[in-house]
Amino acid sequence: MLISLLQTLAEILAGGTSLNSTEQVDFSRPGSRRDEVTGATLNLYFYDIRESKQVQHSGRQIDRNTRDGRFQPATVSWPPSWFDVSLLLTTWDSTSLGEHRLLTEALTLLLRHRSLREEFLSPELRGYGNLSMSVSQEPPVEVGSLWSALSVPLRPALYLTVTVPFEPEQTSIPLVLERILSVQNQLHKDSKGNGNGRVITKKVAIAGLVRSARTNQPLPNVEINVMGTDKCATSDTEGVFFFEDLRPRNYVLTLSCSGYTDQNSNFLVDSQSYTFKEVLLTPA
């Protein structure tokens, strides 16, 4: 369950912030600023688990069936035990301003969800409805003691607590939610700096803009494929691409363009807004 929870949070954070991949989310113990950090990363550290006081435990359940008027052996099952899992979320970047920007993105994203919706969860966590999540409320461990135990100077962080079920045997009830999201997006200014960029109105689940990391100019004719599906698209002359009819979850898009290095990018599709993201491709 813990691994599934960390994977779920990593996919949500990578898909809903400026990160491009879950590989930019680290789960090791947070240390001091690392000189080798060249790009933006998130550190998601699990530090505490304890039985939840918010979820009522109903004890065991006994089902007794009859056949031909006779009682059959009873089936005894136990409901899941619920635990509060506490995590520390910090950011790393080459500059302090970059860290603050990434931390703001993560906070905005998590506050928008308030809970982990079932359609975003990994299969191992489904079947229990949405999972309760609190963001930056008072952690179960005193903050000063936590950082002292980590032997790390106090630094900006988010404190997450997610209530998750634990049981010996689990049945998964996948939720399938189909939604087409409507978006009206004002694209960037034109090449002359005028504020009259064209307006595109289209029902989409994912909208993206591909640019060159060297020139920052839009890249046309970039081939984009959604991993695990048969969906593909090509960016237009302004580097824009769209995908429709995607159900809410995290997607990995593969971008390929002649003269540039292939890149994978995480995109989160949720039920509250469309996903618009800029992707920079590095020349080969």
27-42 residue pLDDT tens: 988 875 554 556 788 9
For residue 268, pLDDT over 70 is answered with: yes
Residue 174 burial by CB count (10 A; 0-12/13-18/19+): exposed, middle or buried? exposed
**Mean residue pLDDT across the chain:** 76
Query: For residue 162, what pLDDT is reported?
Result: 93
Fold of 182-281: Immunoglobulin-like (2.60.40)
Indicate the residue type of 37.
V
Q: Which long-range contacts (CB under 8 A, 24 or more apart) does 177-180 make?
A: 177/119, 177/247, 177/248, 177/271, 178/245, 178/247, 179/205, 179/247, 179/248, 179/271, 180/204, 180/205, 180/244, 180/245
Provide the 8-state DSSP code for 274: -
More confident residue, 186 or 17: 17
pLDDT tens figures, 208-239: 889 898 888 999 999 999 998 999 999 988 88
- Structure tokens, 113: 């969800």
Spatial CA neighbour of 185 closest among 168, 164, 202? 202
Structural Rg of the chain based on CA atoms: 23
List beta partners, residue 91.
42
- Structure tokens, 40: 């933006």
- Structure tokens, 194: 């005028």
Number of H helices, E strands in the chain: 3, 19
For residue 242, pLDDT over 90 is answered with: no
- Neighbour count for residue 134 (Cβ, 10 Å): 18
Residue limits of CATH 3.30.2000 in the chain:
2-52+82-166
Query: For residue 189, what pLDDT is reported?
Result: 39
3-class DSSP state for residue 13? helix
d(CA 266, CA 271): 17
d(CA 53, CA 279): 43
Q: Which of 31-35, 128-132, 202-206, 270-274 is modeled with the greatest confidence?
A: 128-132
End-to-end CA distance of the chain: 40
Architecture of the domain spanning 2-52+82-166: 2-Layer Sandwich (3.30)
Say which residue the tokens 């779920």 belong to. 8
pTM of this prediction exceeds 0.75: no
Q: Region 17-25: what's the mean pLDDT? A: 88
Say which residue the tokens 């435990």 belong to. 57
Spatial CA neighbour of 248 closest among 12, 10, 4? 12
